[in-house]
Amino acid sequence: METSVGLRLATISDAECLLAWRNDSATRSASHHQDEIRLVDHLAWLKASLARSDDRRIWIAEVAGVAVGTCRADKVEGAWELSWTVAPEARGKGIAHQMLSELVKQFDQQPLVAQVKVDNLASMKVAERAGFVLKRDSGQDDAILLYVHQSS
C-alpha cells in the first residue's frame, strides 16, 4: 500500500531540512548546479524565493506530518518548470511519483515542463509516470532532457 503524500507551501522554518536535502551528495549529483550551498546563501535564496509567489512556489511533501521531500515550480517562458527532491531517508518508497502527481494538480491545465539530466533515470521514470513525455533535448546542455506534461 502506498503512503499518502501531501503538499504544503514551504516556510522559512523549513530552511534547515531544505538545505540538508539540497546539499546531499546524491541530490547535488542530479542537480543542474552541483556546488554545496552555504547556510547564509541558502537563507537569502529561500527568503527571496518565498516572496516570489507570482513566479516561484516551493512546497514541502509530507507523510503523516513528516517532511519527506520538496517540489518547486518556476515560471519560465510561459510554462511552469517543475523540480523535486526526495529526502535521502525517504528514497526508494515511491514518494517522488506521489509528490509530482500532487504538484501537477496545483496547475490546472497550465503548461508544465521538467528538465532532467540524462543520467538521472529515476527522475525520468518519475516524470513519465506522472504524465510527462520527452519532448527534446533542452538545447542548453546535451546532458539535459526536456519533458512536457501531456495536458500542457
| pLDDT band at residue 1 using 50, 70 and 90 as cut-offs | very low
Residue 28 has pLDDT above 90, yes or no: no
Express each pLDDT in 35-79 by its tens digit.
999 999 999 999 999 999 899 999 999 999 999 999 999 999 889
The per-residue pLDDT of the chain, averaged, comes to 90
**Above 60 in pLDDT, residue 27?**
yes
Looking at residue 58, what is its pLDDT?
97
- What are the grid coordinates assigned to 88, written together? 535521502
pLDDT of residue 82 exceeding 90:
yes
Identify the pLDDT of residue 2. Answer: 58
